[in-house]
Amino acid sequence: MADAVCRPGTAPRLAQATLGAVPAAVAPPSYDRAAISPGIVHIGPGAFCRAHLAVYTEDVLARGARDWGIVGVDPLSPAVREALQPQDHLYTLLVREPEGDRPRVVGSLCGVLGPDEREAALQRMADPRTRIVTLTVTEKGYCQDAATGALDEAHPAIRADLAGDALPRSVPGLLAEAIRRRRAAQVAPFTVLVCDNLSQNGAKVRRIVSRFATLRDPDLGKFVADSIAFPCTMVDRITPATKDEDRAQVTAAYGYVDAWPVVTEPFRQWVIEDNFPGGRPAWDEVGAIMARDVHPFEVMKLRCLNGAHSALAYIGVVAGLETVADGMDDADLSAFVRRLWRDDLVPTVPPVPGTDIVSYTGELEQRFRNPAIRHRTIQIAMDGSQKLPPRLLDPALERLRAGADASCIAFVVAAWIRFLAGCNDAVEGYAVSDPMADRLLQVREACNGDTVALVDALFAIPEIFGPDIAAHAGFKAAVVANLRAIRADGMRRALAGFLRR
């Protein structure tokens, strides 16, 4: 395959049978895939999990472990299955260094089930060989009230799962049903490992799933709360959505076709609460940190990395800056991000074992500036209703309660509200993608351009702002003032004005 002529249509497809012929530059799995049995079911096998959890697990398999293969379950779309099944679930990971790509083929995924295979997915979750169910379904995948982290009982998917006898579709529904089946068959429970950017993710999802289970059967709810381990974890690796140009680049550079390669940065971090009653892969031997308390790591990452990302996203989209690296190249926006860290976020981060927070934000700045990673601001801007509370509103509230201010966060909230207009300062349109988009856009329409009314109406949405932020007159007034400036002068001038203050 190394010498393949790479005209479109002639390059061979990546697969087990063609693996021996990938060029030497691409590292293949170094173990016998046929000897691996599945021990993990992963719900949400998108790019992030394939750059993170699947790679840590790949490294464990390469050290000789046999029973930790991963079966992916995508309850929403058949796209990953359609891309990966013809290539025996192999995919290329392109680690993007500023100097060039480091490619490898990852083999830890041994199957992917799509939305039409929910019975098979439940059987796989109930199989005694499955000892861990891992999840990357994004914040909205848990059907939560983002401000409180409780199950959103009015969520259409939850109502549907509770109403009928059909197989569940929601994530809480799938987990509760799989746990019920194992219990009925007297199979030891699996551990649920939530790998999404929620604060106290394991504890939160335990409450969500046990509440869902209680609504089905109070006894099952108690079993979930008392007998299932949901360790908390902090996950980190910047992984932009795969673009067609990445696919084309694999074929041009390495001579084969991969329908869904994954592009990621060199950095990776994983901190895991070590609570796996059914056992776990030796992830700690391949770089993961097992900790008694993940909370300080998670607060640091959610606020400093994800909070700054959201700031770059809303300010960047409105100002017409396409990627995070473009945002960091803008002198005002990078100065803003540094100020956001220094004034509003770092003071809210508890001491983190083995970490100097100033060096951490310095390293974040380098990661954000990696020119080889084209991480689009519009991608990060998605689902703001779910992302703002843990990333920015929680730290704002802590600052306000301590009698301090949260001026940079107030600017970002104003930028988010301006972002909801659906067009940037150059009047180019984009879609506002958010599970609450309809409600947010209705609120915008109803306010008819009145800035104070708009901020009031959005702050009154309890699932986003919660009562304490909503009642804080000073914070609200700061958001109004920033939004007025952004609307009157455009994002760039408003930002420059903010920085002069």
Of 287 and 467, the one with the shorter C-beta distance to ligand CS2 is: 287
From the list 442, 460, 463, the residue with the least C-alpha distance to 143 is 463
From the list 235, 41, 205, the residue with the least C-alpha distance to 134 is 41
3-state secondary structure of 166: coil
Residue 199 as a binder of ligand CS2 (CB under 6 A): the answer is no
Stretch that binds ligand CS2, among 174-182, 235-243, 407-415, 453-461 (CB under 6 A): 235-243
Residue 265 as a binder of ligand CS2 (CB under 6 A): the answer is no
Q: How far is the CB of 125 from ligand CS2 (least distance, A)?
A: 25
Q: Which two tokens stand for residue 50?
A: 């394939």
- For 362, half-sphere exposure in the C-beta direction (CA atoms, 13 angstrom radius) is 5
From the list 205, 208, 238, 337, which residue makes contact with ligand CS2 (rule: CB under 6 A)? 238
Q: How far is the CB of 427 from ligand CS2 (least distance, A)?
A: 25
Stretch that binds ligand CS2, among 22-30, 121-129, 206-214, 230-238 (CB under 6 A): 230-238
Of 130 and 197, the one with the shorter C-beta distance to ligand CS2 is: 197
Q: How far is the CB of 391 from ligand CS2 (least distance, A)?
A: 8
Distance CA 197, CA 45 (A): 16
Sheet holding 262-264, edge to edge: 100-106, 91-97, 262-264
Helix axes 201-216 and 156-163, enclosed angle (nearest 10): 40
From the list 197, 214, 370, 385, which residue makes contact with ligand CS2 (rule: CB under 6 A)? 197
Torsion-angle region of 251 (φ positive above 0: left; ψ -120 to 50: alpha; else: beta): alpha
Residue 139 as a binder of ligand CS2 (CB under 6 A): the answer is no
| 289-318 binders of ligand CS2 (CB under 6 A) | 305-306, 309
The size of the interface with ligand CS2 (CB under 6 A), counted in residues, is 10
Of 30 and 355, the one with the shorter C-beta distance to ligand CS2 is: 355
Of 67 and 322, the one with the shorter C-beta distance to ligand CS2 is: 322
Q: How far is the CB of 324 from ligand CS2 (least distance, A)?
A: 9
From the list 167, 179, 57, the residue with the least C-alpha distance to 113 is 167
Q: How far is the CB of 238 from ligand CS2 (least distance, A)?
A: 4
Residue 236 as a binder of ligand CS2 (CB under 6 A): the answer is yes
The DSSP result for 356-423, as a single string, is -HHHHHHHHHHHHH-TT---BHHHHTTTHHHHHIIIIIHHHHHHHHTT---HHHHHHHHHHHHHTTSB
Distance CA 60, CA 54 (A): 10
Residues paired with residue 194 on neighbouring β-strands, in sequence order = 135
Q: How far is the CB of 135 from ligand CS2 (least distance, A)?
A: 14
Q: How far is the CB of 297 from ligand CS2 (least distance, A)?
A: 12
From the list 140, 211, 237, 374, which residue makes contact with ligand CS2 (rule: CB under 6 A)? 237
> Which residue sits closest to ligand CS2, CB atoms considered?
309
Residue 380 as a binder of ligand CS2 (CB under 6 A): the answer is yes
Q: How far is the CB of 380 from ligand CS2 (least distance, A)?
A: 4
Stretch that binds ligand CS2, among 95-103, 209-217, 233-241, 465-473 (CB under 6 A): 233-241
Q: In this structure, are residues 190 and 227 in contact, taking their beta carbons and an 8 Å threshold?
A: no
Stretch that binds ligand CS2, among 8-16, 20-28, 56-64, 231-239 (CB under 6 A): 231-239
Of 85 and 269, the one with the shorter C-beta distance to ligand CS2 is: 269
Q: In this structure, are residues 189 and 132 in contact, taking their beta carbons and an 8 Å threshold?
A: no
Q: Which two tokens stand for residue 160?
A: 């549907």
Strand 100-106 relative to strand 91-97, pairing = antiparallel
Radius of gyration of the chain (CA): 23
Of 298 and 332, the one with the shorter C-beta distance to ligand CS2 is: 298
Give me the residues that bind ligand CS2 (CB under 6 A), please: 197, 236-238, 305-306, 309, 379-380, 387
